A = this chain, B = another copy of it.
Amino acid sequence: MSATLRELADEFSCRLYGDPDRIVTRVGTLSGAGPDAVSFLANPLYRAHLASTRAGAVILAERDRDGCPTACLVHERPYATYARIAAHLHPAVASAAGVHPSAVIAASARLAPSAEIGANAVIGAGSEVGDAAVVGPGCVLGANVSVGAATRLVARVTLLDGVRIGARGIVHAGAVIGADGFGFAPEGGQWVKIPQVGSVVIGDDVEIGANTTIDRGTIEDTVIEDGVKLDNLVQIAHNVRVGAHTVMAGTAAIAGSTKIGKRCMIAGGAAVINSIVVCDDVTLTVRAVVTKDIDKPGVYSGLFPAEEAAKWRRDVARFRRLEELAARVTAAEQRLAELSKTKKDE
């Protein structure tokens, strides 16, 4: 896709400084872009690359305009604007309405005529696929699954019985949604399986990463609210609720029956144990482990378990100086012994 800078400025509400007729066809990094590419500056870490960029244009905030050697598309939210311009220049492959002849579709499934069903996909009884939705190659949908309009199951996604996902979602390859939750009753040194009779309900505009797993509820449903974004290899156990617009990075894990608030940011490898409530607007840093309710928005860190990030940083700094502290105690002990000796000698 190509566009002039004037077209981009008009379409995406930017102020343009530079040649309105310059044509760009792609996006690029500040250091890698050529004259046919539009780049962006959002993270101050990359400001050093601005002066030497060869990009056709740079999307940036007003405050960074002076340092830009090429055309500027100025917007107060340059990162989100970059996202939109990138999607414009690199449009996702449109769905191709129709059912591949190798797909296996239950007679009672209801597929929108505009939906695309890929090669070797399997769709169970009573399931429905909405307008312009895509069930990619090798996906398996159980019975009574519902896929909302314009949602894309990329490839080899599994949605088990009764799973419902809303509109405009993306589920990446290998994700498994609706497997049995992990529930067993102990009895005589063995385990009796607890039937998992709930399912999983997912809102609109949710993105789910590759090989991520979201288990069905024990009795009621596991719930992922609107706008949630989960990275790869994330584990969401049974009965969890994840609040709207919360994001979780790779290998994060949420144990059973825990509720995560809205707009939380869960870093890579962070974990929350079972039956916890985390309030809205909580950030967990990398590998944080939460074992108690969090009822105050803020940043939490640490492994013993997580505490407020500033406290954790102080504790860790002390940990790193334990050797020095022990040496000071030894010195004090020796001084005390000398003082006592002097005392006795007197």
The answer to whether the Cβ of A343 comes within 8 Å of any Cβ in the partner chain is yes
Q: Least Cβ distance of A54 to chain B in Å?
A: 14
A17 part of interface (Cβ distance < 8 Å): no
Q: If A140-B137, A156-B156, A210-B179 touch, does A235 touch B247 (CB 8 Å cutoff)?
A: no
Task: Indicate whether A95 reaches chain B with its CB closer than 8 angstroms.
Answer: no
Q: Are B255 and A173 in contact (CB under 8 A)?
A: no
A108 interface residue per 8 A CB criterion: no
Cα distance, A289 to B316, chains bound together (Å): 14
Given A83-B185, A319-B315, decide whether A255 and B227 contact each other with a Cβ distance below 8 A: no
Report chain B residues within 8 Å CB of A340.
335, 339
Can you name the residue of chain B whose Cβ is closest to the Cβ of A335?
A: B336
Contact B27 A197 (CB under 8 A): yes
Q: Is the CB of B343 within 8 A of A84?
A: no
Instruction: Scan A214-232; emit 1 where CB is below 8 A from any B CB, else 0.
Output: 0100011000000101011
- The reply to whether B155 and A158 form a contact with Cβ atoms under 8 Å apart is yes
Asked if A343 and B339 sit within 8 Å, CB to CB, the answer is: yes
Q: Give every chain B residue within 8 A of A174 (Cβ-Cβ).
A: 158, 174, 176, 211, 213
Q: How many copies does the complex hold?
A: 3
Contact digits for A329-346, partner B, Cβ 8 Å, 1 yes 0 no: 100110110011011000
Interface pair A318/B314, CB less than 8 Å apart: no
Give CA–CA (A338, B45) in the complex, Å: 50
**B residues near A333, Cβ cutoff 8 Å:** 328, 332
User: Chain B residues with Cβ under 8 A from A172's Cβ?
Assistant: 176, 179-180
Report A206 CB to chain B, min CB distance, Å. Answer: 10
Complex Cα gap A287–B269 (Å) = 11
With a CB–CB cut-off of 8 A, which chain B residues contact A114? none
Contact with A122, one of B27, B119, B170 (Cβ below 8 angstroms): B119
Asked whether A51 is an interface residue with its Cβ less than 8 Å from the other chain, the reply is no
A44 CB within 8 Å of chain B: no
- Are B323 and A325 touching (Cβ within 8 A)? no
Q: Which of B161, B227, B232, B316 contacts A190 (CB 8 A)?
A: B227
Tell me if B119 and A104 are in contact (CB < 8 A). yes
Report B-chain residues with C-beta under 8 Å of the C-beta of A90.
Answer: 195, 197
Which listed residue, B120, B140, B233, B245, touches A189 by the CB 8 Å rule? B245
**Distance between Cα atoms of A128 and B142 in the complex (Å):** 25
Q: Does A207 lie at the interface of the complex (its beta carbon under 8 Å from any beta carbon of B)?
A: yes
